[in-house]
Amino acid sequence: MSTRTPVATTETRQYHTTHRQEFITITKDVEDFIAKSGVETGTVTIQSHHTTASIWVNEDEKNLIGPKDKLGYTHDLSRVLDRFADPEEEYGHNDVRDVNNPQGKRDTHLCTPDSCGVVHECINGHAHAQAMILTSSVTMIIEAGKLVKGIWQQIMLVELDHDRERTVTFLAQGLGK
């Protein structure tokens, strides 16, 4: 038997996103979690609970990721993502059947109609399509008790829908000391 202790531990965090295509750097939260976990050699898995908010590992340079209101122009990755799946395009997913749209294609949603029978908050076909590009979970390596990452690598939560409350679970597993 190994004399090193097997470890597996989780932590769940909430993030409040403030706008579409916000990229929130969460590297420090992941690194703090790894330090607490006691894993010396192993992996950390970062998993979004959502279908329109993804996890991405890349550079958090402002021209790439925004936000637009500080830049005064659209960030590069917003342009590329919206070209792939335009929010203004027609999606069957967005054609929600309600009192205003009795022939709507989408009748399977669980979004609750308001008191007027109108369904809000489901117009996000583009966000599901963009979520094909990015991934809902990422697994990275822990070595010598620290996250392995290159000089430019940051872990980001990417909001593909509008401002929302988002839940992310971290899991560290491997061998301790």
Q: Is 38 helix (H, G, I), strand (E, B) or coil?
A: coil
CA distance 63 to 169: 28
Query: Is residue 27 a contact residue for its own copies (CB under 8 A)?
Result: no
- What is the residue whose two structure tokens read 């965090």? 13
Considering only CA atoms, which of 43, 41, 17, 44 is closest in space to residue 30?
44
Query: Is residue 136 a contact residue for its own copies (CB under 8 A)?
Result: yes
CA distances to 127, 129, 164 from 84, in Å: 11, 8, 23
Query: Is residue 177 a contact residue for its own copies (CB under 8 A)?
Result: no
Query: Is residue 17 a contact residue for its own copies (CB under 8 A)?
Result: no
Query: Is residue 175 a contact residue for its own copies (CB under 8 A)?
Result: yes
Judged by CB under 8 A, how many residues of this single chain contact its own copies? 71
Tell me the one-letter amino acid at 94.
N
Window 56 to 95, contacts with its own copies (CB under 8 A): 56-59, 61-64, 71, 73, 75-77, 80-81, 84-85, 91-93, 95
Among 7, 13, 15, 31, binds its own copies (CB under 8 A): 7
Among 30, 119, 134, 157, binds its own copies (CB under 8 A): 134
CA distance 137 to 155: 11
Window 33 to 52, contacts with its own copies (CB under 8 A): 41-43, 45, 47-51
The answer for residues whose C-beta is within 8 angstroms of residue 145's C-beta and 6 or more apart is 34, 35, 39, 40
Query: Is residue 153 a contact residue for its own copies (CB under 8 A)?
Result: yes
Nearer to its own copies, 26 or 125 (CB): 125
